[in-house]
Amino acid sequence: MLSDTLRHLEALVSFDTRNPPRVIGTGGMFDYLRTHLPGFHLEVTDHGDGAVSMLAVRGAPRRVFNVHLDTVPDSPAWTASPHRLRVTDDRAIGLGACDIKGAAAGLLAAAAETTGDAAFLFSTDEEANDARCIAAFLAGDHGFHEAIVAEPTRCEAVLAHRGISSVQVDFRGAAGHASGANAMQASALHHAMRWGSRALDLVEAESHQRFGGLTGLRFNIGKVEGGIKANMIAPSAQVRFGFRPLPSMSIDGLHERLGTLVQAGAVERYQETFRGPPLPSGDIATAEDRRLEARDLAEALDLPIGNAVDFWTEASLFSAAGLTALVYGPGDIAQAPTADEWVALEQLERYAHSFRRILAT
């Protein structure tokens, strides 16, 4: 099946689905998918801003396989065209080959060799932090009970991962000369720095928390801007930060705790810009029950079970909607965002064979 998978992957890589700039349409790549999914009922939906989804259904399946076909942008560090697949003795190199067009190619190859019930949901907005495709699918009357989401997991079933929340905080101060007696308390940058120190202490205090092989709360202050010059009190400052909670941690509860660390009157706006729930969703008891359900699904499909991971996937959206969800795909996440992105041929072949087996039963 490797030759068929590589043929499909060569075609899929050739389509420019970089996100941004979010200019993906309903033709091109989706015309290719239409051609190579005979016998499937196909429904293509344009959700706007480059978010396009295709639901392909054959028979009456209870399980849906999801693959996103958008990619990160390329960089000048690529040594050849990112949209031309290069195949060596052990790897396939191209933008999206690892994350995660290789999985889509494997699904197409497996579908061609089977006739059993199957449902594929292809989406193009995963890299945009704007999950319109999955949200629209889950809001409808889809009728599915299980979801297998493709991301690079080295062909191991991942049952748990962290959630994610990204935040922008705008601090306010009072402009003035730095020689003023009020400089220590009036500076928006001083407010931001005090908050940051307290936030780091809060995160350190959560280092003992555990779930499914994951430990502690991940946190990062990614960007701080503000002020005018060294001898002027900063009238405003902006902090962008993010945290990645364990399953069973309340994202709302963490926002409440982080918000109380701010000096009264020092914040003009505290705004969450993106949220993705953990996998599995729920409180600590519910999350563990759902993890065990996902383990049972992986064992029933004879998929090797891997460790929980720190990166976020859209599998958590399916879990939050009540489906039993796990993550399973070819490749290693370490190769996904790099120049000359690649996926091992052995991984592609193993993935395609596993799905041919699953779809044939």
Q: What are phi and psi of 285, to 5 degrees?
A: -70, -45
Q: Residue 142's CB: how many other CB atoms inside 10 A?
A: 17
Distance of CA 18 to the CA centre of its chain: 15
Residues 6+ apart with CB under 8 A from 92: 6, 9, 85, 86, 102, 342, 343, 345, 348
Distance of CA 214 to the CA centre of its chain: 17
Task: Evaluate whether 167 touches 262 at the Cβ level (below 8 Å).
Answer: no
The two structure tokens encoding residue 302? 């004879």
Paired with 68 in beta bridges are 123
Backbone φ/ψ region at 331: left (φ over 0), alpha (ψ -120 to 50), beta: left
DSSP 8-state class, residue 62: S
**Does the annotation mark 126 as catalytic?**
yes
Catalytic pick among 10, 126, 146, 341: 126
DSSP 8-state class, residue 89: S
| Antiparallel, parallel or unpaired: β 176-177 and 91-93 | unpaired
Q: Match 């996998």 to its residue by tokens.
A: 279
Q: Active-site residues: which are they?
A: 126
